[in-house]
Amino acid sequence: MRWSKLFIPTLRENPAEAEVPSHQLLLRAGYIRQLSAGIYNYLLLAQRSIHKIMQITREEMDAIGGQEMYLPALNPAELWQESGRWDVMGDNMFRLKDRFQRDYCLGMTHEEVVTYIARGELRSYKQLPQIWYQIQTKFRDEPRPKSGLLRVRQFIMKDSYSFDIDPAGLDASYQKHFSAYCKTFDRCGLKYTIVEAHSGAMGGSQSHEFMVASEAGEDFIVVNPKGGYAANLEKAVSRPAPPASPDPDGDLSPEEFHTPGQKSIEQVSAFDGFPAASHLKTLVMVADEQPVLALLRGDHQLSETKFAEALGVNHFRPAHPAEIYGWMGAEAGSLGPAGVTNMRIVADKALEGRRNMIAGANKEDYHLRHVTPGEDFQAEFYDLRQVAAGDTDISTGEPLEVIKAIEVGHIFKLGYKYSSAMGLRVLDEHGKEVTPIMGSYGFGMERILCAAIELYHDADGIIMPASIAPFHVVLTPVNSNDAAQREAAEKLYGECRRLGLDALLDDRDERPGVKFKDADLIGIPLRITVGKKLAQGIVELAIRKGRRLLDVPLAEAAAKAKQLLA
RNA sequence: CGGGGCGUAGCGCAGCCUGGUAGCGCACCUGCCUUGGGCGCAGGGGGUCGGAGGUUCAAAUCCUCUCGCCCCGACCA
């Protein structure tokens, strides 16, 4: 394509609203423009990159027997009421009414739709397994769209669904997706970590996320850098670092001491001279309308996911100050478990075996020393603690790291949630009716694009992996008034295209600096500069990644470019 | 939904506190010039100051309401 005819609105300056690198660069490089919060126009460059990601996706999905479909974004409410998600999804789902006041929604995913199709048509185990996929626009009314294309309200997702006759079949479908995802992300040039994940509101058992380490990410993952363990922070387990100082020995009884104005663990710890780990953190939660006391070591954080899982509840919240006072007789800051009998008490396992700790006295401005779990209060012990840097691997004892990451893909075993709720049955080989088991696997096109940019950029712009770059190579005549340079660039352009490269001819009447800056900014992997060395039959091949320069004979330049891109 | 910030030319911003001519840089248009890293000179076009209401002789500026966007948190397949 000829640059002079294209709409590539690059910006010299960073738009003020953009914070993360991928957002700044997508705007500056003219890939996207915003329409509304979390809603973007994908201009030529973004569209071309996304098409390439889609193509790779199709190839890898087709390779595992996936069948591409196109399903409606506009869904009738009944479908979602059947699965129960009409209510579960709450405000995250875009809802609308048609002219007859019937309820509809814009699909967030398509479990309901594929299950609807399946139950109407699948009759026999002989038709299984099936893997159906779609690459389509999905809608989520995010409470806070942010970070450019990373968290948006409308996005393009590849979603696939598997139907198998039994769990062994699901294992196979899951494994196929696992490897197809690896191939897809590899081909898109991403560096990623696969972590065990929490399956969340989707239900189901096994689940993995594909995470790209990035400061722009919104998830935290726990990894053993030596390899092996990797998990989403929500689900990660670890051996906690030992308490900073040993517990006092002896069978001591709780003893009040005055702590005027000392509320937080940090304050109390500074006041009494014992490290945070020698204190008990006492949180009052309300889980399914019931008060629950959650206890942690002073330097630990509550994992909300683990807490909900341990209690088997869906909804919980911190108690309001008035509730706390009513139940505990004291305000947050002076709370402790000793003497509490009017609510369930759950304690993190790191507290098992500890002795003579410091806790609030449930009396303003007083704490208790020598509080011992199991003696001075009874509790149910669960893993409730969020893993922290400094903890160690449960199996190897090696130190773990907590890393911020972008979730680019998620696969999970759904189980029977939808097939069962929506009445999908087939006959097995004995003529008996059975419910197929399902899997669900998704990733977002935009997330891959963003993750690539987050991973690969420098002060000059994007360094796009060749496989998903909007163009492979740009032909840049240095002096647009020089007919020989123009002609040579034109000739190279034709040759590159004949070799199957996505070539861009920078035929704009611009100064060389402008052309170079733009090419760098939008991240074209290769640039062939036709300049003064043309007199010697030489052109220059500039490799965006690593900024290498090669002088090559004009006649060989296109072939060399193709070779470099392979 | 809680907290914070910002809406002035296409982009980045100043002006607002202390009311009185709407400004700067980049971009854009014309001409000349220049051609290996956002070149130079000259001329030029472009603004409901987010919107509504109010105070005032007079509002970008003060007051009230409202809409939008961004950031932090909550939330999140």
State the CATH number of the domain containing residue A152: 3.30.930.10
Residues A280 and A423 in one domain: no
The pLDDT value recorded for residue A75 is: 95
| Residue A545 within a domain | yes
Residues A73 and A195 in one domain: yes
Report how far apart the first and last C-alpha atoms of chain A are (Å, whole number): 21
pLDDT tens-digit readout, A303-351? 888 888 888 877 788 888 788 888 888 888 889 999 898 899 999 999 9
The pLDDT value recorded for residue A200 is: 55
Q: What CA–CA distance (Å, rounded) separates A430 from A49?
A: 49
At residue A414, the 3 state secondary structure works out as: strand
- CA A416 to C1' B41, whole Å: 75
* Nucleotide nearest residue A442, measured CA to C1': B77
Residues A371 and A448 in one domain: no
| Residue A91 within a domain | yes
- CA A472 to C1' B13, whole Å: 36
- CA A92 to C1' B75, whole Å: 10
Which residue approaches B34 most closely, CA to C1'?
A511
| Residue A38 within a domain | no
Which residue approaches B35 most closely, CA to C1'?
A479
A376: containing domain: 255-382
Residues A369 and A417 in one domain: no
Q: What CA–CA distance (Å, rounded) separates A40 from A44?
A: 13
The CATH number linked to A259 is 3.90.960.10
Residues A438 and A502 in one domain: no
Cβ burial, residue A258 (10 Å; 0-12/13-18/19+): exposed
- CA A12 to C1' B12, whole Å: 9
Give every residue of chain A whose pLDDT is below 50, as ranges: 202
* Nucleotide nearest residue A109, measured CA to C1': B77
- CA A36 to C1' B23, whole Å: 30
Q: What is the ipTM of this complex?
A: 0.93
Residues A437 and A486 in one domain: no
Query: Can you give the three-state secondary structure of A446-488, one letter per residue?
Result: HHHHHHHHHHCEECCEECCCHHHCCCCEEEEECCCCCHHHHHH
Residues A485 and A433 in one domain: no
- CA A540 to C1' B44, whole Å: 40
Residues A87 and A233 in one domain: yes
Residue A207, CB half-sphere, CA atoms under 13 Å: how many?
A: 23
Residues A203 and A110 in one domain: yes
Which residue approaches B77 most closely, CA to C1'?
A202
Which residue approaches B12 most closely, CA to C1'?
A13
| Residue A33 within a domain | no
At residue A141, the 3 state secondary structure works out as: coil
Residues A541 and A442 in one domain: no
The pLDDT value recorded for residue A548 is: 96
Residue A453, CB half-sphere, CA atoms under 13 Å: how many?
A: 35
- CA A159 to C1' B22, whole Å: 53
The answer to whether A311 and A389 have CB atoms below 8 angstroms apart is no
The pLDDT value recorded for residue A373 is: 93
* Nucleotide nearest residue A20, measured CA to C1': B71
| Residue A4 within a domain | no
- CA A94 to C1' B59, whole Å: 41
* Nucleotide nearest residue A151, measured CA to C1': B76
* Nucleotide nearest residue A37, measured CA to C1': B69
The pLDDT value recorded for residue A14 is: 87
* Nucleotide nearest residue A530, measured CA to C1': B36
Residues A526 and A561 in one domain: yes
The pLDDT value recorded for residue A263 is: 83
**Nucleotides of chain B within 7 Å of a protein C-beta?**
1-2, 6, 11-13, 25-27, 34-39, 68-77
Which residue approaches B5 most closely, CA to C1'?
A17
CA torsion sign for A324, A329, A335, A339 is: negative
- CA A516 to C1' B40, whole Å: 20
| Residue A18 within a domain | no
| Residue A326 within a domain | yes
What total of structural domains would you count in chain A? 3
- CA A17 to C1' B7, whole Å: 11
* Nucleotide nearest residue A14, measured CA to C1': B12
| Residue A17 within a domain | no
The CATH number linked to A544 is 3.40.50.800
The pLDDT value recorded for residue A520 is: 96
CA torsion sign for A76, A81, A87, A89 is: negative
A178: its two tokens:
């696992």
Q: What CA–CA distance (Å, rounded) separates A242 from A99?
A: 64
Closest CA to A201 of A417, A402, A424: A417
* Nucleotide nearest residue A540, measured CA to C1': B36
Residues A99 and A214 in one domain: yes
- CA A521 to C1' B6, whole Å: 27
